[in-house]
Structure 1
C-alpha cells in the first residue's frame, strides 16, 4: 500500500516552493477544510489543538477564531510553509515535524485537525498511532485526504499518450476505512465524496497543480522535458472529458473523524 508514494523530502521541498502561490489557487483546499471543520462533534471545545499539515496557516487561523481560548500548534513538514504562515498568526507555536513521528508529548492534545495532508504519508497506520498517543481521552482526530480516483481524467489521458506515471498515486478508500477501524480510536465517521473543478484548458489545470506544490511527485515519473507532440496528444486525449463547464478535474476526498 505504501509503494509508489512520494518521498517526504520531495514533498517538503515542493510545498515549500509553493508557499507564496498556494493560497491564490487553493479554492478546493479551503472548501474541503471548511467541510472538515463542520464535521467536528457538536459542542466540542478543545483546550489545545494541532493543525497537522498546516500549510499556509489558513485553518490554523480559523481554528484560533473558533476556539479563542485554546492553545494552538501549527505543524508542517515544509519549513517554507511555516515561514510563510508564522507572521500571519493563528497558532501559538509553529513546528517543523512529521505526522508519522510527532514531536509532541503523550496525551497533550484535545484536537488534531488535518486537512489534505495525510495523503502524502506513506504509513497512515503510523499517523493514526501517533494521534492515539498524543490525544487525551475524549480527544478528536479529524482528517481529510485524497484517495484512488483523484485526477482520474488526467491519469486516463496520460495513459492514452504514453503509459507513464504522471499523476500522484493515492490510497484506496477501503484502506483508509480499515486502518481507521483498526487504529484503537473510536470511528465516529468516514466517508468519500467527489469534488470536481472545471478548467478552461489543460494549461490552467497544470499551472494550478504546480502553484499548489501538488504536481507529480511520484517515483517512476518520466524525467526530462515533455515533448511538444506528447503535450498535444495529451490535450487531445483530455478534450474527450470536456463538459459544458470546462475540462473536469475530479478529486475523491476522504473525510474521517475519530475519538480517543
Structure 2
C-alpha cells in the first residue's frame, strides 16, 4: 500500500477495537499463518525472535511452542497488545511498535515472523529495510501479505453501485516482487496462495471484516452510514457471483521468506 491510501492511526484504532472479536472469526488468518509457519526450514533453531503485527498473540504463542524460546510480540494496535498480554504465554513480552521504525537493536534477532500485518504498512520497502537492519547475519524474515485480487468480488460489486473506495487496495504481485528483489536480502522466495471463502449472505462477509478490524481503511472511503438503497444495490450486484457453495470472497495471499546474507 502507499501512504496515500492507508492511515496508520486508523489501522491501529480499528484493530484495537476488534481485539475481543478477532479470534472468533479469524479462520482464514489462522490458516494462512499456519501455512507460513510450516514454510520455515525444519532444521531452523533460533533463540531471539519476534512476531511483527502480533495481534491477539495467536502466532506468538505458536512460535513459542515451536522454538521453545521467549517471543517478542510487537503491534501498532495497543488494544491488541492488551488482549494478547491477557492471553499469555508468560514467556512472551509485548511492545507497541511500528514495523517501519522498530524499537530493536541492529543485528539483534534471528527470526522475524509476520502474518497478515505488513500489508497495512504505507511503505513496505521501509518495513523490509527495518527488518534487514534488525536481523542478525544469516537471519530471516517470514511474512505473508494480501495482494491485488483480494476481495475482488466485493470490489466489483461496489463498482456497480458507486464510485467510492469501499474495499481496501492491495499491492499488485509484480510490484511486490520488485520490492522484494530490491530489499537487499541475499535470497528470497514468494509463493501465492488463493483462498476462497463462501458465505450464505453478504452480511456474513461484511460482519466478519468488521469483527477482524479489516474493513475499509483507505483514503477515499465514503463518510457516514451506507444508505439502504445502496446496500440493496450492493447485495444485488454481489448475488451475480453466487456459487453452489454460497457467495465467494477470494483472498490472494503471498507467502514470503527472505534471508539476510552472512557478513564477515
TM-score by length of 2: 0.96
- Asked if the contact 1:52/1:99 (under 8 Å) is kept, the reply is yes
Deviation at 1:138, TM superposition (A): 1.1
CA distance in 2, matches of 1:140, 1:39: 12
After the TM superposition, which segments of 4 or more aligned residues of structure 1 sit over 6 Å from their partners? Answer: none
Map of 1:105-254 to 2, 5 A cutoff?
A: 105-254=105-254
- Asked if the contact 1:151/1:251 (under 8 Å) is kept, the reply is yes
- Asked if the contact 1:33/1:59 (under 8 Å) is kept, the reply is yes
CA distance in 1, matches of 2:4, 2:146: 15
Structure-1 residue corresponding to 2:98 = 98
Q: Secondary structure at the match of 1:161?
A: coil
Q: Secondary structure at the match of 2:169?
A: coil
CA distance in 2, matches of 1:187, 1:232: 49
Deviation at 1:36, TM superposition (A): 0.1
Map of 1:81-96 to 2, 5 A cutoff?
A: 81-90=80-89, 92-96=92-96
Deviation at 1:177, TM superposition (A): 1.0
CA distance in 1, matches of 2:59, 2:122: 23
Structure-2 residue corresponding to 1:23 = 23
Deviation at 1:3, TM superposition (A): 5.1
Deviation at 1:6, TM superposition (A): 1.6
* Structure 2: runs of 5+ lacking an equivalent: none
Structure-1 residue corresponding to 2:45 = 45
CA distance in 2, matches of 1:258, 1:197: 29
CA distance in 2, matches of 1:118, 1:73: 17
Q: CA RMSD in A?
A: 1.0
Deviation at 1:186, TM superposition (A): 2.4
CA distance in 1, matches of 2:96, 2:27: 25
CA distance in 2, matches of 1:44, 1:60: 17
- Asked if the contact 1:157/1:237 (under 8 Å) is kept, the reply is yes
CA distance in 1, matches of 2:65, 2:3: 39
* Structure 1: runs of 5+ lacking an equivalent: none
CA distance in 1, matches of 2:40, 2:186: 14
Q: Secondary structure at the match of 2:24?
A: helix
- Asked if the contact 1:4/1:169 (under 8 Å) is kept, the reply is no
Matched, 1:75 2:74: yes
CA distance in 1, matches of 2:92, 2:217: 31
Deviation at 1:4, TM superposition (A): 3.9
Deviation at 1:224, TM superposition (A): 1.5
- Asked if the contact 1:5/1:170 (under 8 Å) is kept, the reply is no
- Asked if the contact 1:147/1:171 (under 8 Å) is kept, the reply is yes
CA distance in 1, matches of 2:35, 2:160: 35
Per mean C-alpha deviation after superposition, the further-off stretch among 169-178 and 102-111 is 169-178
Deviation at 1:92, TM superposition (A): 2.2
- Asked if the contact 2:180/2:188 (under 8 Å) is kept, the reply is no
CA distance in 2, matches of 1:71, 1:13: 27
